[in-house]
Structure 1
Amino acid sequence: MTISLTNASITSVVLCGGSGTRLWPLSRKSLPKQFVPLVGGKSLLALTLERAALVGPHALVVASEDHRFLVQECVESADANAASTILLEPVARNTAAAMAWAALNVAPQDLLLFLPADHHIPDAHAFADTVRHGLAAAHGGAIVTFGVQPSFPSTAYGYIQQGEALGGDPHARAVRRFIEKPQADRAQAMLLEGGHFWNAGVFLCRADVLLAGLEAHASDIAQSCRAAFATQTSDGDFRRIDATAFAACRSESIDYALMEHAAQTAGAVAVVPFTGGWSDVGSWNAVAELSPADAQGNRIHGQGFVVSASNTYVHAPHRPVVALGTDNLLIVDTADALLVASSAQAEGVKSVVALLEKAGIPQAQHHRRVARPWGAYDSIDAGERFQVKRIVVKPGASLSLQKHHHRAEHWIVVRGTAQVTNGDDTLLLTENQSTYIPVGQVHRLANPGKVPLEIIEVQSGAYLGEDDIVRLEDAYGRGT
């Protein structure tokens, strides 16, 4: 259901560029936290899109080119009747450039609601009501930020200090200043003083106001984005810009590029308080709080079991994981990596990922399961000269017409119906049927049915790398 926000036309801009390494091993470079199903089987991005649909009929999603199919999958899974256009960044350039590019894609007077893709707000309707409270100030030319009412003296968030009221607006007040992440004593003092809010990085403003602000305070970013925008092309729901032009843009957050400067001008930046629940899901402690606690403070997700334990979080979606006699522990199990950490050390996970990357551990960045535009594959087992994958193909989808120089493949259908091109032959395979693809044979796998197709693929050969693919035809624009 869409909440009426007077006659305002609001386009939500979902900023989807984070890497999410603080939630390793669940979140990795190839699958950042905004794409991981963390809440009720849904991803944070899908939930953000559902919130966006409450305030307007259209959304722009700014994401990495590398994640285009993950974004598309989340857009399709979101329970939202809003159209989404996906802006694909060829290289990451932080939030100032992402927001400028989005602003160039709408009319100057359009209102833009900028939303991080990886936040959790349980009461989406209360959030939509709060957005409505910022309309008057945004229409009047202010950049409106939505400050979260702090529930404890956090040292992990930046703060917004409110100033005087804006004219007769009963909801918005001027921003006096933005405050960096404080020390504990300063955070406690701000909480007791009142008038300070957590900076959630959510903004509402007219497109022309944002661009004018960047021209005034970060003109190089504005000019670089305009130059890159001139190269924009469209491909269905995807929009792309030239990589060289966009890479020339300075990488800077919107806070440093614009907000801190604009706040020095009276009335240029306003704050509207949000009193509902909010989390940036920025650590495993924050994820743990999404699950209910038992009498001993334990929280369980999936197949976790605790015995004589307290204040222990167990994330076990794939297999039984038992915590015996533990206290203040985080246990996160995935198909190919395990994290056991003290709750007090949750903020150190990011440094662990850097250590694993330096050691060349592939699990630092990549999951076993890999998303593809046609579905996904999971690398079940591998050894010298063989690899086993579980492949899932969406209904109506197909892989590219391809061949391999170094490997042969055996396909066994375990669910659904497969349409197989094998050299000059085309055949239909159903459950428990199989086929063999020799080295160098041109082949294709397609799902003509109404349910997902699942096959087991056994590869054998001297080289099994993913780059041993010669694509002859591809419906998804990938290179041959």
Structure 2
Amino acid sequence: MTAINNQGTTVIVPVILCGGSGTRLWPLSRESYPKQFLKLAGEHSLFQQTIIRLASLAQNKLKVEKPIIVTNEAHRFLVLDQLHQIDQSATIILEPVAKNTAPSLTLAALQANELYDNAVLIALPADHAISNDNDFCTTLTAAISAVITADIVIATLGVTPTYAETGYGYIECQTVDTKLNYHKVARFVEKPNLQRAQAYIEQSNFYWNSGVFIVKSQFWLAAIEKFDNAVFHGVSSAWHTKKLDTPFIRPNADLFKAIPSNSIDYAVIEPCTSTDSNYQLGMFELSTGWSDLGTWQAVSDYQKADKAETNDNVWLGDVIGIDTTNCYVHAEQRLVSLLGVDDLIIVDTDDALLIAHKSHSQDVKKIVNKLNEDKRVEANTHRRVYRPWGWYQSIDECERFKVKRICVQPKASLSLQKHHHRAEHWVVVKGTAEVTCGSETLLLSENQSTYIPLGVTHRLSNPGNIPLEIIEVQSGSYLEEDDIVRLQDDYGRG
């Protein structure tokens, strides 16, 4: 029985799969702040755009429930902050480790089953760009209707390929259902080499796999139990011993870590399309612009329509180009100038600079691998580090001192803490600070300062309605982040 609400409307539950790392978009995307949280295609992040897009779906007279977001434990406060920025709420399931998309969707299906009677799930990647939300939701609505009426057990969205892309999976289709206007799926093909990709786009029945899947929760659970029993039982065990820590749901970490990694495609979709399967899968063709923005080449191509300068260049930031063609430049803090070059990707951040030929766009992750081998922090973190209360950014450091810029959001507070190896000077440059230092509490406004001696219990809070910014100068024998003893914390950190 399909899930219905009190008015008899089918219940649709969006599932936002928000666990990617986006290593091919380094240095902008890093493990601590991956691409789904970046603004790569508009004024909102890709994650926020995915949430906002659901409003267009609701306009199609579908009962769309609050989304379920499955994300990494380390990104929980990023998710909360970005939801708050767009005034949205969601059910948030935290994975202690990344295990690919099949366990993620299984967690969401188990959660949906606790709330509804066989809801229709829409599995949506959190890091894709869509050029027209209304067109996307019109196609998605047709796919949902086909699953509701049981014409097909799983629906997906396919994109007509425009070039031989080796970074996408492909869908091979058979006949077209003339009543519901969907393509019957023959098979899913993983990322091909260039020769095979070229052969696919020369045929009219191959499409890019968008990674969007529509399926009833109970069918998904039955299918994952049948085709990948280890994932089903592992996730079920972790789910039934979960911890509820409002607003988060935490599956049992030890049990979840033992689950094998698998994708939706490998675990269920491909077995469903095998020759001895009686399941009918349908692909609906997505006519609007779509990209997974998986490489800098893809980002450049997507942005070119709106931001192209002369000679097929795309500039973001302070850029000068002379005798330069087909280059993509993302400049965050300083002037970047180009002279007599072609087909380059240049991404300049405050602590790393990437220069790559566009033909090597797929290989940027090799740099990340090398940085990890060398244990370089630039592989995974930016100088600006986000925390549940705001962020801090390293400005300068040398032996026995470090300088930071710290921003505390309105009404937020750092933990009550102390340090064993460093003292701190704080200078307020914006807003109002409430400072606890030992037994004393004081208010500081712009251009006022205070001193926190080594070993003294202290706390920084923002009582105001605008962000608080301070400059912090640390001095001492050891200045790393693990020299923090938290005595009280509003965010449940130890």
TM-score by length of 1: 0.95
Verify the 8 A CA contact 1:285 1:346 in the aligned structure 2: yes
Question: Quick one: which of 426, 443, 451 aligns to 2:458?
Answer: 443
Classify the secondary structure of the residue corresponding to 1:346.
helix
Paired position in structure 2 for 1:459: 474
Verify the 8 A CA contact 1:370 1:377 in the aligned structure 2: yes
Classify the secondary structure of the residue corresponding to 1:91.
coil
Q: Distance in 2 between matches of 1:382 and 1:66?
A: 26
Paired position in structure 1 for 2:219: 209
Paired position in structure 1 for 2:53: 51
Superposition pairs of residues 29-428 of structure 1, within 5 angstroms: 29-55=31-57, 56-78=64-86, 82-106=88-112, 107-139=116-148, 140=150, 142-166=153-177, 169-264=179-274, 265-289=277-301, 290-291=303-304, 292-428=307-443
Q: Distance in 1 between matches of 2:176 and 2:411?
A: 56
Verify the 8 A CA contact 1:418 1:445 in the aligned structure 2: yes
State the number of aligned residues: 471
Verify the 8 A CA contact 1:11 1:113 in the aligned structure 2: yes
What amino acid is aligned across from residue 291 of structure 2 in structure 1?
S
Verify the 8 A CA contact 1:403 1:470 in the aligned structure 2: yes
Answer with 373-382 or 182-191: which moved more: 182-191
Paired position in structure 2 for 1:23: 25
Classify the secondary structure of the residue corresponding to 1:226.
helix
Classify the secondary structure of the residue corresponding to 1:47.
helix
Sequence identity percentage: 48
How far off its partner does 1:71 sit? 1.3
Classify the secondary structure of the residue corresponding to 2:90.
strand
Query: CA RMSD of the aligned region, Å?
Result: 1.6
Answer with 191-200 or 240-249: which moved more: 191-200
How far off its partner does 1:216 sit? 1.1
What amino acid is aligned across from residue 384 of structure 1 in structure 2?
E
Verify the 8 A CA contact 2:393 2:405 in the aligned structure 1: yes
**Runs of 4+ more than 4 Å apart:** none
Q: Distance in 2 between matches of 1:158 and 1:97?
A: 20
Q: Distance in 1 between matches of 2:405 and 2:43?
A: 21
Verify the 8 A CA contact 1:330 1:341 in the aligned structure 2: yes
What amino acid is aligned across from residue 356 of structure 2 in structure 1?
A
Verify the 8 A CA contact 1:136 1:169 in the aligned structure 2: no
Q: 1:335 to 1:41 in 2, by over 3 A?
A: farther
How far off its partner does 1:39 sit? 2.4
Classify the secondary structure of the residue corresponding to 1:435.
strand
Verify the 8 A CA contact 1:297 1:311 in the aligned structure 2: yes
How far off its partner does 1:170 sit? 1.9
Q: Distance in 2 between matches of 1:261 and 1:148?
A: 22
Verify the 8 A CA contact 1:302 1:316 in the aligned structure 2: yes
Paired position in structure 2 for 1:3: none
What amino acid is aligned across from residue 288 of structure 1 in structure 2?
S
Q: Distance in 2 between matches of 1:318 and 1:382?
A: 19
Paired position in structure 1 for 2:4: none
Verify the 8 A CA contact 1:412 1:456 in the aligned structure 2: yes
How far off its partner does 1:267 sit? 4.3
Verify the 8 A CA contact 1:57 1:83 in the aligned structure 2: no
Classify the secondary structure of the residue corresponding to 1:427.
strand
1:14 aligns with 2:16: yes
CA offset digits 1:444-472 (Å, max 9, x no partner): 01001000000001000001111111111
Q: Distance in 2 between matches of 1:466 and 1:287?
A: 34
How far off its partner does 1:181 sit? 2.5
Q: Where does structure 2 lack aligned partners over 5 or more consecutive residues? A: 1-7, 58-63
How far off its partner does 1:184 sit? 3.7
Q: Distance in 2 between matches of 1:235 and 1:54?
A: 31
Answer with 184-193 or 470-479: which moved more: 184-193
How far off its partner does 1:154 sit? 2.2
